[in-house]
């Protein structure tokens, strides 16, 4: 699997424009402020120096305070896997890609029917994603509709941890659930301290556009920051609905709102790992429905990545989705477009980019396979063209000379895998061979590939004694999930 690569070739803003966005963000924070519907947070902001209008629960921040708190936050955040090779450092212009969530439906791999997702699907998704080379970070992509709400957090995180050693990120639903998850992870790590040293999970909270912090999610944010667990504070301004219709203003909203979350975590626990985040998108003007396949989503997210780099904060970007309901041409081109824009901008973690479509409501195993391929190609583009003596290959050109051939040259064998992405899904056969293999389109081939991985018996990625320790302690965990 490729490590994260570095890239910052796509800059939606020039320096002057980035500065204008930044100044507008500061004006919004200073003049309009954020509505904070959580007592503790409002007090914390006030103590830190924000101007608080207690009647309206509004906190306003002057630019010095904003910059001071931003500068306290680490520029790089490590997301550990349970294998060294899966360790990811988010920050600067490094890029990686993963799933997102939380979808509530899945396209059944066997029947092709779209149905409510269940806990068994979460296990299957994790099993599949464990084997996808171009998926670097696993976000819990589904909601288990067959599990009682109070056991959802535990079952979701367990489904990830037991099936993949990649870092597991996820949204959370209840405070008790968060505690259970902490306890389970501590059991697996050996102790709470061991777990805190190398947290192999992270959590997502949210700030609500326009300009609001909700009580429940702000509590979760404070809780995670206290524990020093990496936490994402995404905002999701939607053009024309919860932000102005213009892309620049959408970026201003996202940056302002997510920064409010970042600032809070830094007041709670200076230096705690925090990630600026976006789920920004656009709307369908016919009914203002949320859409996730527009090219603008990729542009906004890339622009926000540029702002995150400007602030020196790690970034949780959004892209790689489609509004199609089936794995078809639309699913492919929409997903590829926004993934690529993000990756070329050095957006640190492109979430939602594997398997998700249908207004972010449905996950598809086949689309996971297709997006893994898109991710591989995008990462290759991000790596760029290496230029040095070896790659310019003057000596080789001279040696082979006019009219010669490079096929059997050592230089070719030595460099081909390094320089070229090898697709697993794309068909590159001659027509006759393709026809002889069934004349399958990409969706059908993706289906076969997914099936091949999932037909293997599950291999638990936890040692037997840890597995039984966890399932004994938490009998509400459904395992094995059928």
Partner 1 sequence: MTTNYENIAEAVRTGEEDVVQKLVHQALDRGDSPQAILDEALISAMDEVGQLFEQEEIFLPELLVAANAMKAGVEILKPLLGEDAIKSYGTVIIGTVQGDLHDIGKSLVSMMLERGGFKIIDLGTDVSPENFIQSLKDNPETKVLGMSALLTTTMPEMKTTIEALEKAGLRDKVKVIIGGAPVTNAFAQEIAADAYAPDAVAAKNIVRQLVGEED
What is the contact surface with ligand B1M in residues (CB under 6 A)? 101-104, 143, 171, 204, 206, 208, 236, 238, 242, 287-290, 359-361
Q: What DSSP string describes 33-79?
A: -EEE--HHHHHHHHHHT-EEETTTTEEE--HHHHHHHHHHS-SEEEE
Considering CB distances under 5 to 8 angstroms, the limit depending on partner class, which of partner 1, ligand B1M, none binds residue 307? none
Report the nearest approach of partner 1 to the CB of residue 289 (Å). Answer: 7
CB 239, CB 247: distance < 8 Å = yes
Considering CB distances under 5 to 8 angstroms, the limit depending on partner class, which of ligand B1M, partner 1, none binds residue 101? ligand B1M
Indicate which single residue of 13, 195, 359, 474 sits in contact with partner 1 (rule: CB under 8 A).
Answer: 359
| Site map (CB under 8 A) of partner 1, residues 106-125, x = contact | ----------x---------
Q: Mark the segment that binds partner 1 (CB under 8 A) among 68-76, 287-295, 399-407, 432-440.
A: 287-295
Indicate which single residue of 242, 243, 254, 272 sits in contact with partner 1 (rule: CB under 8 A).
Answer: 242
Q: Mark the segment that binds partner 1 (CB under 8 A) among 157-165, 180-188, 282-290, 302-310.
A: 282-290
Which residue number, 358 or 366, has a Cβ lying nearer to ligand B1M?
358
Q: In terms of Cα–Cα distance, which of 114, 61, 139 is closest to 353? A: 139
Which residue number, 250 or 266, has a Cβ lying nearer to partner 1?
250
Beta bridge partners of 243: 239
Beta bridge partners of 364: 107
C-alpha distance from residue 43 to each of 40, 49, 52, 76, 130 (Å): 5, 10, 8, 28, 43
What angle, 0 to 180 degrees and rounded to 10, lies between the N-to-C axes of helices 215-227 and 39-48? Answer: 60
Report the nearest approach of ligand B1M to the CB of residue 442 (Å). Answer: 24
* Total Cβ atoms within 10 A of residue 282: 23
Report the nearest approach of partner 1 to the CB of residue 388 (Å). Answer: 51
Footprint of partner 1 on 392-431 (CB under 8 A): none
Q: Scanning the structure block, which residue is given the tokens 């040259």?
A: 409
Which residue number, 32 or 413, has a Cβ lying nearer to ligand B1M?
32
Considering CB distances under 5 to 8 angstroms, the limit depending on partner class, which of partner 1, ligand B1M, none binds residue 103? ligand B1M
61/48 Cα distance (integer angstroms) = 10
Indicate which single residue of 62, 183, 214, 448 sits in contact with partner 1 (rule: CB under 8 A).
Answer: 214
Report the nearest approach of partner 1 to the CB of residue 106 (Å). Answer: 13
Cα-to-chain-centroid distance, residue 276? 12
Structure tokens at 343: 């990756």
Which residue number, 184 or 360, has a Cβ lying nearer to ligand B1M?
360
Indicate which single residue of 143, 158, 315, 316 sits in contact with partner 1 (rule: CB under 8 A).
Answer: 143
177/389 Cα distance (integer angstroms) = 56
Structure tokens at 200: 């192999």
CB 181, CB 151: distance < 8 Å = no
Considering CB distances under 5 to 8 angstroms, the limit depending on partner class, which of partner 1, ligand B1M, none binds residue 286? partner 1
Structure tokens at 287: 């009914």
Report the nearest approach of ligand B1M to the CB of residue 171 (Å). Answer: 4
Footprint of partner 1 on 160-199 (CB under 8 A): 173
Radius of gyration in angstroms for the set of CA atoms belonging to the chain, rounded to a whole number: 23
| Site map (CB under 8 A) of partner 1, residues 361-380, x = contact | x-------------------
429: Cβ contacts below 8 Å, ≥ 6 apart: 437
Structure tokens at 35: 């509505």
Q: In terms of Cα–Cα distance, which of 34, 86, 94 is closest to 65? A: 34
Report the nearest approach of ligand B1M to the CB of residue 280 (Å). Answer: 10
392: Cβ contacts below 8 Å, ≥ 6 apart: none
Report the nearest approach of partner 1 to the CB of residue 286 (Å). Answer: 6
Indicate which single residue of 32, 175, 245, 392 sits in contact with partner 1 (rule: CB under 8 A).
Answer: 245
Q: Which residues bind to partner 1, rule: CB under 8 A?
A: 104, 116, 143, 145, 149, 152, 173, 208, 214, 238, 240-242, 245, 285-290, 359, 361
């Amino acid at each position: 699997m490729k490590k994260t690569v570095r890239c910052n070739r796509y800059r939606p803003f020039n320096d002057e424009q980035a500065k204008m966005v930044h100044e507008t963000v500061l004006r919004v924070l200073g003049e309009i402020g954020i509505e904070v519907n959580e007592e503790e947070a409002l007090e914390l902001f006030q103590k830190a120096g924000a101007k608080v209008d207690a009647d309206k629960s509004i906190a306003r921040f002057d630019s010095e305070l904003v910059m001071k708190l931003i500068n306290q936050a680490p520029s790089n955040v490590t997301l550990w896997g349970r294998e060294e090779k899966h360790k990811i450092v988010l920050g600067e212009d490094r890029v990686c890609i993963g799933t997102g969530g939380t979808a509530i439906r899945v396209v059944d791999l066997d029947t092709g029917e779209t149905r409510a997702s269940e806990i068994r699907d979460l296990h299957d998704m994790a099993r599949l994603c464990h084997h996808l080379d171009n998926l670097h970070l696993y976000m819990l992509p589904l909601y288990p509709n067959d599990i009682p709400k109070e056991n959802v957090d535990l079952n979701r995180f367990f489904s990830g941890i037991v099936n993949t050693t990649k870092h597991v990120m996820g949204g959370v639903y209840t405070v008790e659930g968060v505690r259970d998850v902490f306890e389970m992870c501590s059991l697996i790590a050996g102790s709470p301290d061991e777990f805190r040293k190398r947290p192999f999970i992270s959590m997502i909270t949210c700030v609500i556009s326009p300009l609001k912090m909700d009580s429940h999610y702000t509590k979760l944010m404070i809780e995670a920051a206290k524990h020093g667990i990496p936490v994402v504070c995404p905002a999701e301004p939607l053009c024309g609905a919860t932000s102005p219709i213009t892309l620049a203003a959408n970026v201003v909203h996202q940056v302002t709102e997510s920064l409010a979350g970042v600032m809070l975590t830094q007041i709670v626990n200076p230096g705690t790992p925090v990630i600026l985040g976006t789920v920004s998108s656009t709307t369908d003007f016919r009914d203002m429905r949320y859409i996730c396949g527009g090219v603008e989503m990729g542009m906004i997210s890339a622009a926000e990545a540029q702002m995150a780099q400007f602030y020196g904060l790690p970034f949780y970007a959004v892209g790689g989705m489609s509004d199609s309901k089936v794995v078809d041409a639309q699913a492919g081109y929409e997903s590829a477009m926004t993934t690529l824009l993000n990756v070329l901008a050095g957006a640190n973690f492109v979430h939602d980019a594997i398997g998700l479509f249908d207004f972010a409501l449905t996950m598809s195993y086949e689309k996971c396979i297709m997006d893994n391929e898109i991710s591989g190609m995008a990462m290759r583009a991000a790596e760029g063209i290496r230029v040095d003596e070896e790659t310019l290959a003057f000596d080789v050109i001279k040696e082979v000379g006019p009219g010669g051939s490079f096929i059997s040259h050592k230089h070719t064998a030595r460099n081909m895998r390094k320089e070229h992405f090898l697709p697993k899904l794309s068909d590159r056969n001659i027509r006759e061979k393709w026809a002889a293999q069934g004349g399958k389109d990409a969706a059908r081939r993706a289906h076969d590939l997914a099936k091949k991985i999932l037909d293997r018996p599950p291999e638990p990625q936890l040692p037997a004694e840890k597995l039984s320790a966890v399932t004994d302690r938490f009998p509400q965990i459904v395992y094995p999930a059928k």
